[in-house]
Chain A
């Protein structure tokens, strides 16, 4: 029987795994963001290291390829002085037919302290967290369409950095919501932090109507969706969605929902534009916007390392 208690918190309500932002109290989110702030300066030092995870082994388990996310986790772990082992499972054990839990059992026997997991199936990190040794911590680095909590947190860090107060903001999330774990994590984080207006913008094939029940307003018209927005989060459109039954073409998507300087003019004058990367220039975002004064896409990457350092150091300090 699975416990009904949120499996990422211990009995004291402390974070032991980071699996999803859903169900995390505002205080835990603020603790992570505050801790990230203190790590930001480490990244500017000449010796970019703190000894918080010295002697600990962090395994990057990427069942789905992602060079970028894996690299940022690797940098974050190394700046905390951990030993980092990268395993590209998509091309090793799984290809030989080893089951997910056998892989986990083997790596646990190598005295892993933390697993950073990327998997193509929603919920896979929960299964791992339920089956690994009690001292092992699990960080979800993206599971299916479900969650990408560190991306959600770094987005919150970015918004807080530029806008300070969450409680007066209008945030528009634009594009392929239905397949996006980033959108789901952002929505949970934004609602928890008290953002009064969150909009999900895109065509009906990419924005499921049930998303309303997560506390967002659904807009199928781009102008309506970004009018008066303080923050615009553009989502990456995966290649396989660009033509077929979801969308007729990348060109038609760009015409309707691509963020151009003309469309950006409907937002607040001081609006920021975010994107989880990698960006598709000319598909969801115009180069003039991606490289323009409203864009905070590169600062997001910098903040991402500090946020991942914060997450890893906090969960490593809490016991199951």
Chain B
């Protein structure tokens, strides 16, 4: 299959390329950018006039809900949601049922995902068996099965001794540990600690739940030399601690979710369970620090933190409602919204959801490391074609994900995906 994408504006954050040019694809790879030779006979030509041709998006946090939570999402629906959002590579956390703590489960998930032929799926393995925080998993076996790192997902690791050993072990083999900085004892509330939680009578998670966990992790990293990716920062104080750790040279990277980038606890309104997300939405100053941290590179990547939750689990009193929101189909638009509000160029904005997250994944991507999240000749043709001028209104009814709950319902957002290519094949095409 030979494909020619004509007249598009090619924006590649990795190389800084931003120009109107044609792009030729053959055998799943990009064979020419700009000068397409006359003897290239495309079997299909896509007219990308008015569209941006960007690398396929890379989302470092998307729950596919398989195995175990099929009522909340299925690989088919969630992968369809991914490509409809322009996402061609995604990392999924291990909090499935059963937990991704055995190579067989990881191989099964990779196999199922590959057969769907939609986005590339990179699972995180469980750091401890059944995420119970007691026994380490077989990390080398899991890596061989396709895991790109090890994580406790949302389950806190209370025992510092186990955490220390887990980091030592992971560091031995150069594996990255993905952890959400949240003290397991202080971090149990349902909203951010503050005036709003106090007024509404909701249990609050204090900022110190994040900063204490960060301080502990940084000490353990200094001791073990382990590389850690911090998942979902939520506070201004947390962003500042990460900034200092990076300045010190610690091997740390971090991400933030679209929810914490745009919302604050005030959005909870009258106990709106769509705003029940993890980590909880904090105050204005935290959101401002997160937005600035993403711009200056303290925060490496923006993630959807896609978590499909079914109706029954959300129509409950706020504290009882299951945390999480759908996000794969909103990642691009909410990145663009942040970028335009924060004075970022299109390339700078797209970097946060393309080559910067690939940098987090590093060598664990294997043969794709050189081309994922980038547009390079000879590289795999994972591409997202979107209309930067189109605006659309988020309605839960027109999302492909089985998760229909989003805090952004009714928002008018910029940027609409028109076509997504995965390894040179059209995985999604908007019907107009």
Interface of A toward B, CB cutoff 8 Å: 1-2, 4, 6-7, 22, 99-101, 119, 121-124, 126-127, 131, 143-147, 178, 181, 184, 208, 210-211, 213-214
Residues of B within 8 A of A131 (CB): 315
- Find out whether the CB atom of B198 lies under 8 angstroms from the CB atom of A210: yes
- Find out whether the CB atom of A147 lies under 8 angstroms from the CB atom of B201: yes
Residues 15-53 of B, flagged 1 when their CB comes within 8 A of A and 0 if not, give 000000000000000000000000000000000000000
Residues of A within 8 A of B272 (CB): 2
Given known pairs A100-B317, A144-B201, A210-B198, the reply for A1 and B271 (CB within 8 Å) is no
- Find out whether the CB atom of A123 lies under 8 angstroms from the CB atom of B198: no
Residues 316-342 of B, flagged 1 when their CB comes within 8 A of A and 0 if not, give 111110000000000000000000000
Give the distance to chain A from B371, nearest Cβ to Cβ, in Å. Answer: 41
Residues of A within 8 A of B316 (CB): 99-100, 127
Give the distance to chain B from A214, nearest Cβ to Cβ, in Å. Answer: 6
- Find out whether the CB atom of A4 lies under 8 angstroms from the CB atom of B317: no
Give the distance to chain A from B236, nearest Cβ to Cβ, in Å. Answer: 17
Residue of A nearest to B202 (CB): A122
Residues of B within 8 A of A144 (CB): 201-202, 317, 319
Residue of B nearest to A102 (CB): B312
Residue B199, interface by CB 8 Å? yes
When the two chains form the complex, which single residue of A7, A22, A210 contacts B195, counting CB atoms closer than 8 Å?
A210
- Find out whether the CB atom of A184 lies under 8 angstroms from the CB atom of B317: no
Residue B269, interface by CB 8 Å? yes
Identify 14 new A-B residue pairs, CB closer than 8 A, beyond the known A123-B200, A126-B271, A208-B198. A99-B315, A100-B317, A119-B317, A122-B317, A122-B318, A123-B270, A123-B319, A127-B316, A143-B201, A144-B317, A144-B319, A147-B201, A184-B201, A210-B198
Residue B194, interface by CB 8 Å? yes
- Find out whether the CB atom of A2 lies under 8 angstroms from the CB atom of B270: yes
Which B residues between 270 and 303 are near A, CB-CB below 8 angstroms?
270-273
Residue B410, interface by CB 8 Å? yes
Can you show 27 pairs from A to B with CB atoms below 8 A apart?
A2-B269, A2-B270, A2-B272, A7-B270, A99-B315, A101-B315, A121-B318, A122-B271, A122-B318, A124-B317, A126-B271, A127-B273, A127-B315, A143-B201, A143-B317, A144-B201, A144-B317, A145-B202, A146-B200, A146-B201, A147-B201, A184-B199, A184-B201, A210-B194, A210-B195, A210-B199, A213-B199
A214→B194 CA distance, assembly (Å): 11
- Find out whether the CB atom of A1 lies under 8 angstroms from the CB atom of B195: no
- Find out whether the CB atom of A121 lies under 8 angstroms from the CB atom of B319: yes
Residue B104, interface by CB 8 Å? no
- Find out whether the CB atom of B199 lies under 8 angstroms from the CB atom of A1: no
- Find out whether the CB atom of A121 lies under 8 angstroms from the CB atom of B270: no
Residue of A nearest to B273 (CB): A127
Given known pairs A121-B317, A210-B195, the reply for A145 and B271 (CB within 8 Å) is no
Residue B120, interface by CB 8 Å? no
- Find out whether the CB atom of B319 lies under 8 angstroms from the CB atom of A22: no
Which size bracket describes the interface of B in this complex? 20 to 34
- Find out whether the CB atom of A99 lies under 8 angstroms from the CB atom of B312: yes
A1→B198 CA distance, assembly (Å): 24
Which B residues between 194 and 213 are near A, CB-CB below 8 angstroms?
194-195, 197-202
Residue B404, interface by CB 8 Å? no
Residue B362, interface by CB 8 Å? no
Given known pairs A131-B315, A210-B193, the reply for A1 and B410 (CB within 8 Å) is yes
A146→B196 CA distance, assembly (Å): 11
Residues of A within 8 A of B200 (CB): 122-123, 146
Residue B68, interface by CB 8 Å? no
Give the distance to chain B from A141, nearest Cβ to Cβ, in Å. Answer: 15
- Find out whether the CB atom of A4 lies under 8 angstroms from the CB atom of B319: no
- Find out whether the CB atom of A122 lies under 8 angstroms from the CB atom of B194: no
- Find out whether the CB atom of A214 lies under 8 angstroms from the CB atom of B199: yes
Which B residues between 370 and 411 are near A, CB-CB below 8 angstroms?
409-410
A213→B194 CA distance, assembly (Å): 9
Residues of B within 8 A of A2 (CB): 269-270, 272
Give the distance to chain B from A124, nearest Cβ to Cβ, in Å. Answer: 4
Residues of B within 8 A of A119 (CB): 317
Residue of A nearest to B311 (CB): A101
A119→B271 CA distance, assembly (Å): 14
Residues of A within 8 A of B315 (CB): 99, 101, 127, 131
- Find out whether the CB atom of A127 lies under 8 angstroms from the CB atom of B317: yes
Residues of B within 8 A of A124 (CB): 317
- Find out whether the CB atom of B410 lies under 8 angstroms from the CB atom of A122: no
Give the distance to chain B from A119, nearest Cβ to Cβ, in Å. Answer: 7
Residue of B nearest to A179 (CB): B201
- Find out whether the CB atom of A214 lies under 8 angstroms from the CB atom of B409: no
When the two chains form the complex, which single residue of B194, B195, B317, B410 contacts A123, counting CB atoms closer than 8 Å?
B317
A210→B273 CA distance, assembly (Å): 23
A146→B319 CA distance, assembly (Å): 12
Residues of A within 8 A of B273 (CB): 127
Residue of B nearest to A130 (CB): B270
Question: 7 smallest A-B Cβ distances: which pairs?
Answer: A145-B201, A123-B271, A146-B201, A121-B317, A213-B195, A210-B198, A122-B201
- Find out whether the CB atom of B409 lies under 8 angstroms from the CB atom of A123: no
Residues of A within 8 A of B198 (CB): 178, 208, 210-211, 213-214
Residues of A within 8 A of B193 (CB): 210
A131→B46 CA distance, assembly (Å): 48
Residue of B nearest to A3 (CB): B270
Residues of B within 8 A of A181 (CB): 201
A103→B318 CA distance, assembly (Å): 18
Give the distance to chain B from A271, nearest Cβ to Cβ, in Å. Answer: 27
Residues of A within 8 A of B312 (CB): 99
Given known pairs A123-B271, A210-B193, the reply for A1 and B409 (CB within 8 Å) is yes
Give the distance to chain A from B140, nearest Cβ to Cβ, in Å. Answer: 42
Residues of A within 8 A of B202 (CB): 122-123, 144-146
